[in-house]
Chains A and B, each alone.
Chain A
């Protein structure tokens, strides 16, 4: 087990190197350069040339890549060309904001999605099944920005129940410790702040969680359908076990592996792909950080940002793999 874990960690190295080369070459291949963007449309020719030299952009691409890798190896993610701040310092609050949002949307997606899938499989071909699967289909197809704007319009503008943007009421700021506001307010015992942070999470969490929720519901349903027809389920029924126990204890456990795989993939999707949600809800997350960096050709931020996100993604999937073994004792990692 331990050696498996170590091996998987070692595998991470070629993955990250390969990815950094791909990202590096692509962003340097697209036209437009950071000096031009940073200096704005009023830049003088000399200023652009000078700034390029200052940023090291006049050096050969290979030299630039090697100096970037050298930085990474020594634990230095580089400095943003745009803000001139160390990326490590900049990225952490963004990452915390994204992780908090991602956790909430995954909780919503898993709780609703898994249960809807189970019920749909259990009452196969019932009105609930058709209804849930129709909603799931719509859920996968609805564009996030539309859903987000509609949520804001209904719950913030018309009903006035929930705040439409941001992480916290700006007039009542919360002191940050970990950057996860729900955790921070709990540590401080600031329940008003906790409630406020939670309210700010609901709309973006729902918008971001809808697609994963729909996918999870569909996967759970089909996976459960297979399991519900096998012998041990019939035996369990014959034994007189309650349906709840049969569904959640005996069937779900065996049907959960594919769902878990999908959850692992979705985490990656939510980490880097939350740009639209973060934009609409004014959420200061890592997706927007990288997206803005692309707009201004802030090469180090794009590179390191993607590196951070993909490292987390690889770790999450490693954890998912390890969870398989817990879920199914037949799986052994060597």
Chain B
């Protein structure tokens, strides 16, 4: 035993001594050198809070997966750098038939998948068949929930894409059952990246840990909960891109630890900065902040089925009792702005003519008295402790609102639930008021308004419209807007719907929130995309 102990002690002493003698030459910002060696291209390390679920974008539904697959797989159309405006990608051009039911896409020529096979119309057909046909051989028991949500179901079960045909080598045609206004925006979603059909056949269900696309970077390795390594696609079809040699996505769950790692040179980019750290980061000349435009709205989900919230006056009173600006200032450090509608304010459909419910406790009291509650009532306020982009320190946000509510006589009991329990709770309508939000998928107003406010989505148990606001006129307008291709006409419909929603006040829209992404000062060309996943091909390190 003594020998063993002595041996251990010697080893420990040595290692501690060595660590202490370390003069900093081989650690710190300079050591974990940005250039691994002379002549090699640069490696960028991207720090994030959670790992990918899968490498199969079509079978994913969360951003951490798409953050990576976005750079391996490409979609027919994609979104512009900083907005969700649709621009060409693998399809260089497209036409739509008079009746809005047939879309023809002309594909880029000479594009190859990372395995050397050709990208062509057949490949597009194969991929969409995989997503829409439950009997497809490459289905791998996937849930394809994004396809299902965006195109109303699978083949034989409501899919709004009826068929996809290869017309020529590089021309592909989509036949829809009815005109769909959101069709193009949907196609740009990260979930609809085109996978090499040969790879789907080769890897089978293991396509979830192997990725073969047409994108600027090729998949190298995945160490779960640690890192994913991508390497430059030397044969990328867009000349001179990508500029980086490698991108490594590294998981560091704790926001503060991630910032330390960035300062220490172990990372080059980090997402999800604690808003409270923004000031110190901005003061640090070695760091740069890039802001991701908001594609989210935080709001109070008011349960319209429950008394006393079935009375619009009570809901309006709640709206008057919320200090949006105060919340934005106190918890988001300049990253949040109040919103009047259930849409990000830079959406083309945002109705800015609406006059918001101002923060006015007297007005709230008056409305409560009119509704028959001069002395207020008791209220359960449901919240989850897990922060999300649209709610930082949610329990504290709720405490702040509670203070205002109590001034108008509403006695608040705060109910804190863990995220999965919280979701189930509000979807089954057990809550009275809950703090929640919506993160957009493709920037289309339909994605925000139809999902959260249409009566079709107010099914107890799995409601996305967990306000259970059931208004026929609004629901009809939102449904109608789905089939109108002309954007001006759609805008009018949405503006009208927003006006009606505002008057009924089924919810209290709170804030839209920008995300602060921090990079080393030497990182250039990085533009965070509102959807949460961006192209890394223009990024350089100098």
List chain A positions with a Cβ less than 8 A from chain B: 30-33, 36-51, 54, 82-85, 90, 93-94, 97, 107-108, 110-112, 114-115, 145, 148-149, 152-153, 156-157, 159-167, 169-173, 198-199, 202, 248-249, 252-253, 256, 279-282, 284, 288-289, 292, 295-297, 327
Which residue in B11, B20, B225, B419 is a CB contact (below 8 Å) of A289?
B225
**Which B residue sits closest to A161, measured CB to CB?**
B22
Whether A165 lies near B12 (C-beta < 8 A) is: no
Residue of B nearest to A44 (CB): B149
Q: Are A163 and B27 in contact (CB under 8 A)?
A: yes
**Per a CB cutoff under 8 Å, which of B19, B36, B424 touches A31?**
B424
- State whether A111 and B12 are in contact (beta carbons under 8 Å apart), knowing that A83-B53, A160-B28, A173-B229 are contacts in the complex: yes
- B167: CB under 8 A from chain A? no
- Which residues on the A side are within 8 Å of B463 (C-beta)? 45
Indicate if B387 sits at the interface (CB-CB under 8 A).
no
State in angstroms the CA–CA spacing of A82 and B65 once bound together.
12
Interface presence of B441 (CB below 8 A): yes
What 1/0 flags go to B421-458 for Cβ under 8 Å of A?
A: 10111010000000000110100000000010000010
Inter-chain contact B5/A114, CB cutoff 8 Å? yes
CA separation between A46 and B459, bound complex, in Å? 10
Q: Please state if B250 and A47 are interface contacts (CB–CB under 8 Å).
A: no
Q: Is the CB of B420 within 8 A of A167?
A: no
* Docked-complex contact A167 and B226, CB < 8 angstroms: yes
Query: Is B479's CB within 8 Å of the partner chain A?
Result: no
Task: Verify if B323 is at the interface (C-beta below 8 Å from A).
Answer: no
Q: Are B441's CB and A45's CB within 8 A?
A: no
Let me know if A202 and B19 touch, CB within 8 A.
yes
Please tell me which one of the listed residues A44, A84, A161, A252 contacts residue B27 in the complex, with CB atoms under 8 A apart.
Answer: A161
Interface residue B524 (Cβ < 8 Å from any Cβ of A): no
Partner of B1, one of A30, A40, A107, A256: A256
Query: A90 contacts which chain B residues (CB < 8 A)?
Result: 224
Please give the distance in Å from B422's CB to the nearest CB on chain A: 8
Name the A residues within 8 Å of B250 (CB-CB): 165-166, 170, 282
Closest B residue to A260 by CB, please name it: B1
Give every chain B residue within 8 A of A40 (Cβ-Cβ).
61-62, 145
CB neighbors of A among B16-63 (8 A): 19-20, 22, 24, 27-29, 32-33, 36, 43, 45, 50, 53-54, 61-62
- In the bound complex, do residue B257 and residue A152 qualify as a contact, i.e. CB atoms below 8 Å apart? yes
User: How long is the Cα–Cα vector from A80 to B72 in the complex, in angstroms?
Assistant: 24
Q: Are B27 and A199 in contact (CB under 8 A)?
A: yes
Docked Cα-Cα span, A54 to B209, in Å, equals: 21
Given A42-B149, A110-B8; A162-B43 close (CB under 8 Å): no
**How many angstroms between the C-alpha atoms of A39 and B145 in the bound complex?**
7
Complex-state Cα separation, A18 to B462, whole angstroms: 35
Across the interface, do A152 and B145 meet the contact criterion of CB distance under 8 Å? no
Q: Do B421 and A30 have beta carbons less than 8 Å apart?
A: yes
- Are B420 and A50 neighbours in the complex by a CB distance under 8 Å? no
Cβ of B225: which chain A residues have Cβ within 8 Å of it? 94, 284, 288-289, 292
Q: How far is the CA of A289 from the CA of B225 in the complex (A)?
A: 8
A170 to B252 CA separation, bound complex (whole angstroms)? 12
Known contacts: A37-B420, A153-B260, A202-B19. The answer to whether A111 contacts B5 by CB under 8 A is yes
Whether B19 pairs with A280 at a CB distance below 8 angstroms is no
User: Which residue of A has the minimal Cβ distance to B254?
Assistant: A280
A45 touches B12 (CB 8 A): no
Task: Evaluate contact between B143 and A51: CB separation under 8 angstroms.
Answer: yes
B42 to chain A, nearest CB (A): 10
- Expressed in whole angstroms, the minimum distance between the Cβ of B387 and any Cβ of chain A is 13
Residues of B within 8 A of A173 (CB): 221, 229
Interchain nearest-CB distance for A111 vs B (Å): 5
| Residue pair B208, A84 in contact (C-beta under 8 Å) | yes
**Which B residues from 136 to 178 make CB contacts under 8 A with A?**
141, 143, 145, 148-149, 153
Q: Which 5 A-B pairs have the closest CB atoms?
A: A32-B420, A160-B28, A282-B252, A45-B462, A284-B225
Is B418 positioned at the interface, with any CB of A under 8 Å from its CB?
yes
Q: How far is the CB of A258 from chain B (nearest CB, A)?
A: 14
CB pair A252–B1 under 8 Å, yes or no, is yes
A253 — which chain B residues lie within 8 A by C-beta?
A: 1
Interface centre among A39, A47, A161, A282 (most CB of B within 10 A): A282
CB B30 to nearest CB in A, in angstroms, measures 9
Q: Is the beta-carbon distance between A84 and B261 smaller than 8 angstroms?
A: no
B257 is contacted by which of A83, A93, A111, A281 (Cβ under 8 Å)?
A281
B181 within 8 A of A: no
Nearest CB of B to A231, in Å:
22
> B326 near A: Cβ within 8 Å?
no
Check A248/B5 contact, CB under 8 A, given A32-B420, A44-B148, A170-B248: yes
Distance (whole angstroms) from the CB of A220 to the closest CB of chain B: 11
Distance in Å from the Cβ of A95 to the closest Cβ of chain B? 12
Q: Which residues of chain B (255-271) have a CB below 8 Å from chain A?
A: 256-258, 260-261, 263-264, 266
Q: Mark B357-373, 1 if CB is under 8 A from A, else 0.
A: 00000000000000000
Of the candidates A32, A167, A280, A282, the one whose C-beta lies within 8 Å of that of B418 is A32
**Nearest CB in chain A: distance from B112 CB, A:** 27
Nearest neighbor of B388 in chain A, beta-carbon distance: A41
A295 touching B420 in the complex, CB below 8 Å, given contacts A40-B61, A84-B205, A149-B256: yes
Give bound CA distance, A42 to B61, whole Å.
Answer: 9
Determine whether the beta carbon of A44 is less than 8 Å from that of B252.
no
Residues of B within 8 A of A37 (CB): 419-420, 423
A171 contact set on B, CB distance < 8 A: 32-33, 36, 43, 45, 248
B408 cross-chain contacts in A, Cβ below 8 A: none
